[in-house]
Amino acid sequence: MFCHLRPMRSLSVEHIQSLNTNMHTQPLKEAKRMPDRPIKWDKSYYSFTGFKDPDEDLEQVSRVETTLTSWLDNNGKSAVKKLKNSLPLRKELDRLKDELSHQLQLSDIRWQRSWGIAHRCSQLHSLSRLAQQNLETLKKAKGCTIIFTDRSGMSAVGHVMLGTMDVHHHWTKLFERLPSYFDLQRRLMILEDQISYLLGGIQVVYIEELQPVLTLEEYYSLLDVFYNRLLKSRILFHPRSLRGLQMILNSDRYAPSLHELGHFNIPTLCDPANLQWFILTKAQQARENMKRKEELKVIENELIQASTKKFSLEKLYKEPSISSIQMVDCCKRLLEQSLPYLHGMHLCISHFYSVMQDGDLCIPWNWKNGEAIK
């Protein structure tokens, strides 16, 4: 509800006058101050008066893209300092990794996320202390790859996952259960072979870089659902007619597709009849894509070696989300540049610019150089 105000001339001003006698002068000064929000003039005002439009300056700045050389000029010294400070810890990390790999006869020790060197050393120290207490239990992981990640278990490809937030008790229980995990892994491989047989010899693969992180149990369940659907559908492929081709299973897709790298993306719940038609019509294209992938991988490795040598890099690597095509394009353009700041650095090809806490330089694969784009 709104109250009806009387005309201004009928209002009493006695209370205002009494207030005025007690007021300080500061609020009056503030009342005369210019408003905090600047006046927004029409574009025609600046055209007519010749004054500079401040918004135009802001738009100009926003259109200027960061270039590789300018970014290295601004961040190179900081990266060198961080890298130098991290060198003792990097040596300690290598020592701990080699020591544990030899002691437990592991294939490798890896990290799923880009934790800093100090964090990684701390995780290896924890594993080393556990090995001193339960060496025979931890030796059950012989031949395995250990990955430090967000949860404990065994991954879809058979890596031992150690959750970094779990206590030693949970890690010990995991190592104790490894024989049962190995048994499940053997059953999973049989299931993959059965699916492959029903689909004309297509190899079922799990590509860590392109698929969600799944535990062995989750992946087995996914394969089992897909296998039972294939059995009920009774679709027929000529035996071994599709050997050499690959497919990955997806639980979050509804239509099959062909990846540029040559493998089929197959939804677990896709219609079997549609699946058969799609695979048969795309088989030749899949073979061509796979051949192109292998050729591209050779070129990528050659360019990585050439770039590492030219810029005297300590290490050149890429994030898993960077494709071979993107890496090849990036390295080709890098080799045309003169970049002294890269000498002795660790360079990561990514999607953004960043100096990591241990001095690694991240640059986007599609970096810009030369004149700023306007």
Encode pLDDT of 81-109 as tens digits: 999 999 999 999 999 999 999 999 999 99
pLDDT band at 369 (very low <50, low <70, confident <90, very high): confident
Residue entry with tokens 């896709």: 270
Among 37-41, 83-87, 150-154, 308-312, the range scoring the smallest mean pLDDT is 37-41
Which tokens sit at 352? 């953004």
Cβ atoms of residues 269 and 297 within 8 Å: no
Q: Which of 161, 156, 88, 154 is CA-nearest to residue 123?
A: 161
pLDDT band at 32 (very low <50, low <70, confident <90, very high): very low
pLDDT tops 80 at residue 241:
yes
Which tokens sit at 248? 């990955």
- Looking only at the bridges linking them, the beta strands covering 315-318 and 346-350 are parallel
Taking residues 66-88, report their average pLDDT.
94
Q: How confident is the model at residue 239, as a pLDDT?
A: 85
Taking residues 21-33, report their average pLDDT.
43
**Would you say the pTM of this structure is higher than 0.85?**
no
Q: How confident is the model at residue 47, as a pLDDT?
A: 44
Cβ atoms of residues 352 and 364 within 8 Å: yes
pLDDT band at 252 (very low <50, low <70, confident <90, very high): confident
Cβ atoms of residues 242 and 255 within 8 Å: no
Cβ atoms of residues 351 and 366 within 8 Å: no
- Kindly state the greatest CA–CA separation across the chain: 102
Strand partners, 361: 347, 355
Report the C-alpha gap between 229 and 232 in whole angstroms. Answer: 5
The contacts of residue 220 (CB under 8 Å, 6+ apart) are 184, 187, 188, 191
Report the 10 Å Cβ neighbour count for 345: 22
Give the DSSP H/E element, type plus range, for residue 315. strand 315-318
pLDDT band at 110 (very low <50, low <70, confident <90, very high): very high
Cβ atoms of residues 220 and 187 within 8 Å: yes
Residue 75 Cα to chain centre, angstroms: 22
Cβ atoms of residues 232 and 271 within 8 Å: no
pLDDT tops 90 at residue 243:
yes
Taking residues 357-370, report their average pLDDT.
92
Cβ atoms of residues 157 and 208 within 8 Å: yes
Q: Is 117 helix (H, G, I), strand (E, B) or coil?
A: helix
Query: What sign results for the dihedral spanned by CA atoms 76, 82, 84, 90?
Result: negative
Q: How confident is the model at residue 6, as a pLDDT?
A: 43
Which tokens sit at 361? 């330089």
Q: How confident is the model at residue 115, as a pLDDT?
A: 87
